[in-house]
Amino acid sequence: MYLVTVLGNLLIILAVSSDSHLHTPMYFFLSNLSLADICFASTTVPKMLVNFQTHRRTISYGDCLTQMSLFLIFGCMDDLLLTVMAYDRFVAICHPLHYPIIMNPRLCGFLVLGSFLISILESQLHNLIALQFTTFKDVKIANFFCDPSQVLSLSCSGTFTNIIVMYFVGALFGIFPISGILFSYYKIVSTILRTPSSGGTYKAFSTCGSQLSVVCLFYGTGFGVYLGSAVSHSSRKAAVASVMYTVVIPMLNPFIYSLRNRVIKSTLKRLHSRLI
């Protein structure tokens, strides 16, 4: 599954970079999402594979903080890029005549760079909380990686303040992106339903269908982990759900985007014919 994740997302990056017809904002954001997916899966899966091979389930404190930091950076990057892609589709469908002017290369680069910097900020805020820990009530994490919510709950002191800060940061970097996504797709659906042409309606829905599928999978499993663990306190269920959004969804993204996108499929076929 990890090899499929890496190779599938690399194929999308290769297809976008090799075909001049794909040098558009939508595919530029898609290639960055694929890169973020590769890095996101690579923060957890290799360590898990090493644990399987060596039958060891230990990790040093420094390595744990590093893994948690990278997990938050690329997880938040995924989150923000999905928001940016929703905004891109909103402009393309709701303001098609102004699309080339609004989504210019400078703005696209700024949105990707801004997403990366914001992701680093969120990661460092969590790390600053974790670095204040001096004693721990337990040294076991009921997951296959250093899940930030579980790591930050191991402290013996200052838990109330840490929980307040953690949930505030989570709400700030979680609610605002998903609000932007919901608003963008609300406006998109409203515009599509007012479109008189059935062909235009089908094309608009097919364009947004792939992105909406990824959004539902990513947020559905992500919220399922934290809401489910908060209600049932079942570490096994939380770990299984974590596998979904850390391993399975990054693997599914290339299939969702390539199988539903005729342009990417034709580009991949041309690349395959060149290799043969």
In tens, the pLDDT along 57-96 reads 888 888 888 998 999 899 889 889 989 998 998 998 888 8
List beta partners, residue 155.
Answer: 136
Whether the CB-CB separation of 44 and 5 falls below 8 Å is answered with no
For the chain, what is the mean pLDDT?
80
Whether 21 has a pLDDT exceeding 90, the answer reads no
**63 vs 245, residue with greater confidence:** 63
List beta partners, residue 136.
Answer: 155
Whether the CB-CB separation of 29 and 81 falls below 8 Å is answered with yes
Closest CA to 57 of 142, 131, 154: 142
What tokens does 130 get?
Answer: 């974790």
Residues 6+ apart with CB under 8 A from 254: 5, 8, 9, 11, 12, 34
Whether 107 has a pLDDT exceeding 80, the answer reads yes
Give the pTM: 0.85
Residue-range domains of the chain with CATH: 2-275 (1.20.1070.10)
Q: What does the chain come to in residues?
A: 276
Residues 6+ apart with CB under 8 A from 114: 80
